[in-house]
Amino acid sequence: MGEFEGKRLHLLLVEDQPAEVELIEAMLAGHRDPEFHIEHHDNLAGGLKRLRSGGIDLVLLDLCLPDSAGLETFQRLHTQASSVPIILMTNLDDEDLAARAVREGAQDYLIKRRVDTGLLVRSIRYALERQLSEEALRQSEERYALAVRGANDGVWDWNMITDEVYYSPRWKAILGHAETDIGSRPDEWLTRIHHDDFQDFNHALQAHLTGETEQFAHEYRLRHQAGHFIWVLSRGLAVRNIHGELQRMAGSLTDITARKAAEEQLIHDALHDALTGLPNRALLLDRLDQALKQLRSRGNSGFAVLFLDLDRFKNVNDSLGHNVGDQLLVEFAQRLSALLRPGDTVARLGGDEFALLISDIEHIGQVTAVAKRILELSRDRFQIAGHEVFTTASVGIAMGSRVYQGPEEILRDADIAMYRAKGAGKARYEVFDRQMHQRVVELLRLETDLRRAVERGEFAMHYQPIVSLDEGKLVGFEGLIRWHHPLRGMVGPESFIPAAEETGLIVPMGWWTIRETCRQTRQWQREFPNRAPLSISVNVSGRLFKQPDMVTRLERILDETGLSPDSLRIEITESVLLDHAEEAMEKLSGLRNLGVGLHVDDFGTGYSSLSYLQKFAYDSLKIDRSFVSDIEQTKGSGAIVQTIIALGQMLGMNIIAEGVETPVQLRRLQELQCPQVQGFWFSRPLDAAGARRLLSNPPTWQVDKIA
């Protein structure tokens, strides 16, 4: 992190949602060089009090707190310590508010449901670096101002009666002339004014001479003796006689070229990305606003916005380092810039997100052609620091329309389309339609309801029996989460698990699920001590495998509930093995040492993971219901099921077939010697009371008498 390497940075997290606090702390817990020390307060008052004590390097701030909300939250904290950089942690519906806060001094804002460890660490790094740069620039400007005030300005004295002007030696020296080079006529001054500045200069001068302004002060350009133009500030005051008639006008001339250059640089920096030199979000929004105004006024100047994001960019940073990642962004920006026509704009919005404003569009085909060229150039290899780097991009397209009230709306819709492209498989483009926006609104509403559900404990567990085909007896249950929605009633996991995964809420939900199933199973074991020890299976999200304390936390739950580890079966999907291979293997070894059973869920539906089966001894493979449902008609499905069962037998693993719903399916599985099954043929998932009734009067399913 450059200047911050090897340091321990103190971060103040002001956030009232425990799940968010836990997520952010988990993201930064393992980071080293620098190391992050996080202090947390759940209200603004506590955060302000801690800031007054000093020693805070950066603040992560939620805008909605119990004792303050909205822009005022940022303003109060920024006023307390304006030199401490602030990053806002906000939801989608707070994005406009967060953007306003950035304009008032916040360094950045992150949308909670999109943030990951890499994005959070990069944002912290850039915020700290920008704060240092801004402080250095402010001190430089103060030193420059003192130097200017101490310097000798050029002096001029204009005799309005004789129309002669006295120019001091310093006045002439500012323009690079010797004392004898310039005469005493006004033209010696006026003819050296830049053509583009003369009209404004003359207007300001006449306004003072006619008494409209008390003083004359104007900035403009004067031609230097060397031929170039310099920026100067002329100040003056007209002198009149007792009759009000003009007598003379005297003033000063100051060379402000350096200040103008600094101002122009500040303006440039405020509107451009420091890494790539491209326009930033602020400049893009300004140009988008102009394009919308032209569309409304002229009606024939079509335009489009392309929002694009590099796929798997985090992998580049994680494997090759941030320097290589930054250079990849620079080179990708150069390729994008070479792609555009004069009048178009390419901007970097932050991280690995870019946007293009394409002007003078007549039909959608012109825009999709640009999108295809972007996809092609992103696939070409990059040579960076001795590495061959390959990447792809996902592109969202929004066409300019009068229905948009502001530039933020069209950028939002292009962003929505980009996420649709990512969800459809990456390395492609999607064109925005209104249904996309409706889906995003629905997802946001679902996320809000889910957060409340986690806080209010609106979840319940249902249990589906797992049956042994040899004996037709119950051997265990699979715990399945359900949501008691206050308006929609009982909601199945397919309606909310994807949103929970995307927002990170799956982590607290996952821990609640494990704890509740362990507690309930141990209660049943005590209540029915004469039956064989009951086992419980729980499907675990890959996000839990990324928690550093996953194994110790699970061990604590087993201790607290009293459930023996060999009664718990953790189910993981193939995608967990592939996406988090090293992390997953480490955690699986820890679980194995505890004595917890390990099942591979939905086996055969993901990528090939046979190599992972060789690396680790799992207890069971679960055959996905899609193969079981087609086993009656599809020879291929039957062959796959037979192969999985044979594979399990060779590896000494148990096999459980899911989704058994018909007697024909059951008979076929018997023929293939599948050891265990579950599905509607035996029982739908039961609530705790229904599962208890089943345990009280355990059935023996006559699996061998099915016709």
Tokens of 612: 């992972």
Confidence (pLDDT) at 575: 67
| Alpha carbons 256 and 274: distance in angstroms, whole number | 25
> Which DSSP category does 280 fall into?
-
**Superfamily of domain 8-147 in the CATH hierarchy:** Response regulator (3.40.50.2300)
Scanning the structure block, which residue is given the tokens 């403009």? 220
What is the dihedral angle through the alpha carbons of 5, 8, 14, 16, rounded to the nearest 10 degrees?
A: 110
| Alpha carbons 287 and 293: distance in angstroms, whole number | 10
Tokens of 341: 């026509």
HSE-up (13 A, CA, CB side) for residue 114: 18
Let me know the angle formed at the C-alpha of 204 by 201 and 205, rounded to the nearest 5 degrees. 85
Q: 47: closest CA among 89, 13, 71?
A: 13
Whether the CB-CB separation of 464 and 478 falls below 8 Å is answered with yes
Tokens of 448: 């809000």
| Alpha carbons 599 and 491: distance in angstroms, whole number | 26
Query: What's at 483, amino acid-wise?
Result: W
| Alpha carbons 594 and 566: distance in angstroms, whole number | 8
Tokens of 336: 């994008």
Scanning the structure block, which residue is given the tokens 């960076």? 384
Beta strands in 5-144 (DSSP E): 8-14, 35-41, 58-62, 64-65, 68-69, 86-90, 108-111
Whether the CB-CB separation of 454 and 505 falls below 8 Å is answered with yes
| Run means of pLDDT, 10 residues per run, the chain, 707 residues | 71 92 88 87 93 91 89 88 87 76 85 84 87 79 48 84 93 92 94 96 95 94 96 94 90 93 89 92 93 80 90 85 91 91 91 93 87 89 87 91 88 90 86 73 80 87 93 91 88 85 88 95 91 88 88 95 95 69 79 91 63 74 87 72 87 91 91 92 93 88 57
Tell me, yes or no, if the two domains 8-147 and 272-432 fold the same way.
no
**Domain 447-696 - what CATH class?**
alpha beta
Q: How many CB atoms lie within 10 A of CB 253?
A: 23
Q: Whole-model pTM above 0.95?
A: no
Q: 92: closest CA among 127, 67, 116, 63?
A: 63
Whether the CB-CB separation of 314 and 116 falls below 8 Å is answered with yes
Tokens of 653: 């693993």
| Alpha carbons 153 and 430: distance in angstroms, whole number | 61
Q: 349: closest CA among 360, 358, 357, 341?
A: 357
| Alpha carbons 402 and 404: distance in angstroms, whole number | 5
Whether the CB-CB separation of 530 and 565 falls below 8 Å is answered with no
| Alpha carbons 597 and 582: distance in angstroms, whole number | 19
101 CB-near residues (< 8 Å, 6+ apart) = 63, 71, 74, 75, 86, 88, 109
Q: Where are the domains of the chain?
A: 8-147, 152-261, 272-432, 447-696
Alpha carbon 265 to its chain centroid, in Å, reads: 28
Q: How many CB atoms lie within 10 A of CB 694?
A: 16
DSSP 589-614: HHHHHHT-EEEEEEETSSS--HHHHH
CA distances (Å), 629 to each of 515, 604, 606, 662, 701, in order? Answer: 32, 14, 17, 9, 20
Domain 272-432 fold: Alpha-Beta Plaits (3.30.70)
CA distances (Å), 692 to each of 515, 516, 687, in order? Answer: 18, 15, 9
**Superfamily of domain 152-261 in the CATH hierarchy:** PAS domain (3.30.450.20)
Confidence (pLDDT) at 152: 65
Tokens of 609: 């993971």
Confidence (pLDDT) at 149: 43
Q: 238: closest CA among 268, 260, 208?
A: 208
